[in-house]
Chain A
Amino acid sequence: MTSTLTRVLAVLLPAAAVISNSALAQDPIPPPEALEGAFKSQKHFSPYAGRNFPTHVYWGDTHLHTAMSMDAGAFGNRLGLDDAYRFARGEEVTAATGQRVKLGRPLDFLVVADHSDNMGFFPNLFAGKPEILADPTGKRWYEMIQAGGQQAVGAALEIIDAASKGTFPQSLYYAPGSAPYRSAWEETIEAAEKYNEPGEFTAFIGYEWTSLVPPGNNLHRVVVYRDGGDKAVRTEPFTMFRPAGSTNPEDLWTVLQAYEDKTGGRLLAIPHNGNLSNGMMFPLVNPVTNRQLTREYAETRIRWEPLYEATQIKGDGEAHPYLSPTDEFADYETWDKGNLNLSELKTREMLQYEYARTALQLGLQVEQQVGVNPYKFGMIGSTDSHTSLATAEEENFFGKHSGTEPDAMRWEHPVLALGDVTILGWEQVSSGYAAVWATENTREAIFDAMMRRETYATTGPRMLVRFFGGWEFTADDAELRMPGGVGYSKGVPMGGDLPVRSGNGAPTFLVGALKDPFSGNLDRIQIVKGWLDGRGQRHEKVYDVAWSDAGRRQPGPDGTLPPVGNTVDVANATWTNTIGAPELLTVWTDPDFDASQPAVYYARVIEIPTPRWTAYDALRFGITMDPEVQMTTQERAYTSPIWYTP
Chain B
Amino acid sequence: MRPLIVLSTLGALLALGASPALAQDPIPPVESLQDAFKAQKHYSPYAGRNFPTHVYWGDTHLHTGLSMDAGAFGARLTPEDAYRFARGEELTSSTGQQVKLGRPLDFLVVADHSDNMGFFPRLYSGDQDMLADPTGRRWYEMIQAGGQQGVQVAVEVIQAFSDNTFPEALASLPGTPAYRDAWEEMIDAADEYNDPGEFTAFIGYEWTSNTRGANLHRVVIFRDDGTKASAVLPFTTLKPLGSDNPRDLWEQMQAYEDKTGGQILALAHNGNLSNGIMFPMLDTFTGMAFDRDYAETRAKWEPLYEVTQIKGDGEAHPYLSPNDEFADYENWDQGNLDLSEAKENDMLQYEYARSGLQIGLQLERQLGVNPYKFGMIGSTDSHTGLATAEEENFFGKHSGTEPSPERYKHPMAQLGDKKYESWDMVSSGYAAVWATENTREAIFDAMMRRETYATTGPRMLVRFFGGWEFTEADAELRMPGGVGYNKGVPMGGDLPVRSGNGAPTFLVAALKDPFSGNLDRIQIVKGWLDGRGERHEKVYDVACSDGRSIRDDRCERPVGNTVDVANATWTNTIGAPEFVRVWTDPDFDASQPAVYYARVIEIPTPRWTAYEAARFGITMPDGVPMVTQERAYTSPIWYTP
Contact = CB atoms under 8 A, between A and B. Distances in A.
Interface of A: 44-51, 92, 99-104, 200, 395-396, 398, 406, 464, 479-481, 514-515, 517-518, 521, 550, 569, 572, 574-575, 577-578, 581-583, 620
A396 B569 contact: no
Given A517-B512, A577-B578, A578-B576, A45 B46 contact: no
Most chain B CB inside 10 Å of its own CB: which residue of A569, A581, A583: A583
B5 interface: no
Contacts of B45: 104, 395-396
A521 B47 contact: no
B47 A48 contact: no
B518 interface: yes
Given A101-B47, A574-B478, 12 more contacts: A44-B99, A46-B99, A47-B393, A49-B90, A49-B97, A92-B46, A101-B42, A395-B45, A396-B43, A479-B567, A577-B577, A581-B572
Contacts of B403: 45
B365 interface: no
A521 B512 CA distance: 12
Nearest to B402: A45
A48 B102 CA distance: 6
Contacts of B44: 99-102, 396, 398
A50 B569 CA distance: 21
B576 A577 contact: yes
Contacts of A406: 43
B603 to A, nearest CB: 11
B518 A582 contact: yes
B46 A102 contact: yes
Interface string B37-62: 00000111111110000000000000
A395 B47 CA distance: 12
A322 B498 CA distance: 63
A578 B512 CA distance: 13
B477 A99 contact: no
A255 to B, nearest CB: 39
B564 interface: yes
B122 to A, nearest CB: 30
A355 to B, nearest CB: 32
A620 B477 CA distance: 12
A583 B97 contact: no
Nearest to A476: B567
A50 B98 contact: yes
B101 interface: yes
10 contacts: A47-B102, A47-B392, A47-B393, A48-B102, A49-B100, A99-B44, A101-B42, A396-B43, A481-B569, A521-B577
A79 to B, nearest CB: 14
Given A479-B567, A480-B569, A45 B615 contact: yes
B341 interface: no
B573 A581 contact: yes
B585 interface: no
B48 A92 contact: yes
Given A101-B42, A101-B43, A395-B45, A45 B97 contact: yes
Interface string B400-412: 0001000000000
B291 interface: no
B181 interface: no
Interface in B436-469: 461
A518 B578 CA distance: 9
A489 to B, nearest CB: 16
A46 B97 contact: yes
Given A50-B90, A396-B44, A406-B43, A574 B477 contact: yes
A267 to B, nearest CB: 31
A552 B43 CA distance: 39
B518 A48 contact: no
A49 B547 CA distance: 39
Given A44-B99, A45-B615, A574-B478, A396 B567 contact: no
A513 to B, nearest CB: 11
A49 B49 CA distance: 38
Contacts of A46: 97-100, 393, 395
A200 B101 contact: no
B150 to A, nearest CB: 21
Task: List the 8 closest pairs (A to B, CB-CB), nearest first.
Answer: A49-B98, A100-B47, A101-B44, A46-B99, A48-B100, A102-B46, A45-B403, A406-B43
Contact of B97 (A44, A51, A515, A521): A44
Interface in B499-538: 511-512, 514-515, 518
Contacts of A395: 45
Interface in B167-216: 198
Contacts of B346: none
Given A47-B102, A48-B101, A582-B572, A620 B615 contact: no
B251 interface: no
B344 interface: no
A395 B577 CA distance: 20
B129 interface: no
B373 to A, nearest CB: 32
Among A200, A395, A406, chain B packs the most CB atoms within 10 A around the CB of A395
Nearest to B616: A45
A514 B518 CA distance: 12
A430 B393 CA distance: 39
Nearest to B606: A481
Contacts of B569: 479-481
Contacts of B98: 44, 46, 49-50
Nearest to A92: B47
B476 interface: yes
A166 B44 CA distance: 39
A479 B569 CA distance: 7
Nearest to B511: A517
B146 to A, nearest CB: 17
Interface in B14-57: 42-49
Contacts of B578: 517, 577
A398 B573 CA distance: 36
A623 B32 CA distance: 29
A106 to B, nearest CB: 10
Given A99-B43, A103-B46, A406-B43, A48 B577 contact: no
Given A396-B44, A480-B569, A572 B511 contact: no
Name, among A46, A50, A99, A100, the residue most crowded by chain B CB atoms within 10 Å (CB to CB): A46
Contacts of B395: 46
A570 to B, nearest CB: 13
B46 A104 contact: yes
Contacts of A550: 573
Nearest to B512: A582
A398 B47 CA distance: 13
Given A47-B392, A48-B393, A100-B44, A583 B572 contact: yes
Contacts of A582: 512, 514, 518, 572, 577
Contacts of B514: 464, 514-515, 517, 582
Nearest to B479: A395
Nearest to A584: B572
Given A479-B564, A480-B567, A577-B577, A49 B43 contact: no
Interface in B63-112: 90, 97-102
A572 B472 CA distance: 13
A100 B97 contact: no
Contact of B48 (A47, A100, A464, A479): A100
Contacts of A104: 45-46
B281 to A, nearest CB: 44
A585 to B, nearest CB: 9
A104 B482 CA distance: 13
B235 to A, nearest CB: 35
A101 B47 CA distance: 5
B478 to A, nearest CB: 6
Contacts of A569: 476
Contacts of A44: 97-99
B47 A102 contact: yes
B168 to A, nearest CB: 41
